[in-house]
Structure 1
Amino acid sequence: MTAELPGDIAPGSWHPNRDRARQVQTAVKVVCGTFAAVSILTTLGIVATLIFETIEFLQAVSLWQFLTDTKWTPLFASKQFGIFVLVSATVTISVISVLVALPLGLLAAICLSEYATPRVRRILKPVLEILAGIPTVVYGYFALLTVTPVLKTFIPELGRFNALSASLVLGIMITPMVASLSEDAISAVPRSLKDGAYALGSTKHETILSVVLPAALSGIVASLILAVSRAIGETMIVTLAAGANPTLGFNPLVPVMTMTAFIVQVSLGDAAVGTLEYKTIFAVGMTLFIMTLTLNGFSFWFVCRFREKYE
């Protein structure tokens, strides 16, 4: 016979620690469920507010006018509500910023994951991520007071407020997001794939281009789309550096007004609560929400469609 130790619990027997563990587990479930419910209800509340206020706005302004007007002047005596004036500025700045962040972030991710030694990686990655911790208002003044004067030496017709300097600085700001997420995706590629490529005679850069990047494509695209969503929703950089002139078109050399910059302008108190001008905030916010939701939906589909699974 085997002696039963004092701490042993016979199967089927009651022990106070078992009830205590159940109580702790139940408490944890309740706390986690409560926080999850709060986040869900908050999201639903935001969406419901946008929907109801946008419906009220569209009862005063037709959807056709909202989509086809070529000017955006809701705060002027002659009111026009062409949302594509703001959308074109937002898209212009976002595209240019992504064209800056994609090569910088992807090359940084490849360097950190494939070329840098562990010691260099421990130094470079925190330095790179410092860029993500700088307040956006600092980036905005940097674009306005430093980048724009430098660009004017090469482009004399560039205005003091312009989309180009805001786009370049915004691209620098979202570079750490692209680099960090892409580096995680590249590092997740199994070592066996790389070893197989080396065994077939591939060089390091051939292995990266032909094996590593295709295997990590879904993660890289997801990081890029998240960066685009971040660029679309950026406020302070575009408010300070891009100006407040609602101009239709995709010319980055002139002052423009993005959707977030307009929301800031109206939120300063120029429009009374409940007026049509005030409700334009929610119409613009709903448009912004639809754009980012579409991007996130595409990101989810792309990751599910092209994600590589390895044993």
Structure 2
Amino acid sequence: MNEKPVISVKNLTKRYGDVTALNQISVDIPPGVTGLIGPNGAGKTTLLMTLLGLIFPDNGHAQVLGYDVVHDSLEIRRKVGVLHERPNYPEYMEVEDYLTHVADLYETSRNPAELLEMVGLQAVGHRRIHSLSGGMLRRLGVAQALVGTPEMAFLDEPTSNLDVDGRDEIINLLGELSKKYGVHFLLSSHILTELERICDNVVFIKNGDVIGTGKTSDILSDYSHNRYRVTCSDSLRLAEALQEREEFQSIRALGTKVVTFTFEGENMARIWDNVEAICKEIKIDIDSLGKSETLDDAYREIMK
């Protein structure tokens, strides 16, 4: 049985003068956690702003949680929480006082103490916002997005400017919140390894067009077919050598240590023998070889 989409977009167009930011896009986004993926300038922010009813489309229609983005924009903003990429906070206000102030803006809201516990900030409720670490500020942003008991939340780069541990904490937090409270999330992020870990579905957008969408597991399966990843001591030299062998296709050097490629067939021993022989020939070391199943790989294929 197909689930009713939480977001439905039909032939949506938005122009800024001569620039077409959204070009007759159509997409249905199912319940759960969805990643919105695309390069800078692809139209992601325009799409989010349109779905929130903050800007109106020139043509087409869109619904969020069953509400029309033009006629029911206020109701959408009551039902959807938002975390902007660069939120501004009153730095000298205490954390719990700030959430209390935000809660007063809603007809129905969560208790600030409950919010602090939900996002793991219960120990810092009486600290001033300017004293919080980057990770704590992102947690505060998530708490703010959930103040009004939303059914859904839009999060723009929720892990920006965080170290590896901080990003892990936020991604794990969002996964827990989705499961425990049933909140649907639409995440816009450039860090695809994070989206791969948490997203049920992904939407790829480029030049104002949706060019790919589906379950994350299906996308990984479809675009990892016959794709392999080798770690070696010199990726540029190995990639150059592989280019001379017609059985290796779609060759990419990623940094200085990793090469990905496609190779017809599933015989890993045969592939290993071929790559190992090439590495010996050009006098570089091979460390590992395996299937490559990442959103990074899918992204590069889809964005061609």
TM-score range, shorter chain: under 0.3
TM-score, with structure 2 as normaliser = 0.20
Q: Which has the higher strand share?
A: 2
Q: Which has the higher helix share?
A: 1
TM-score, with structure 1 as normaliser = 0.20
- Name the larger-Rg structure: 1
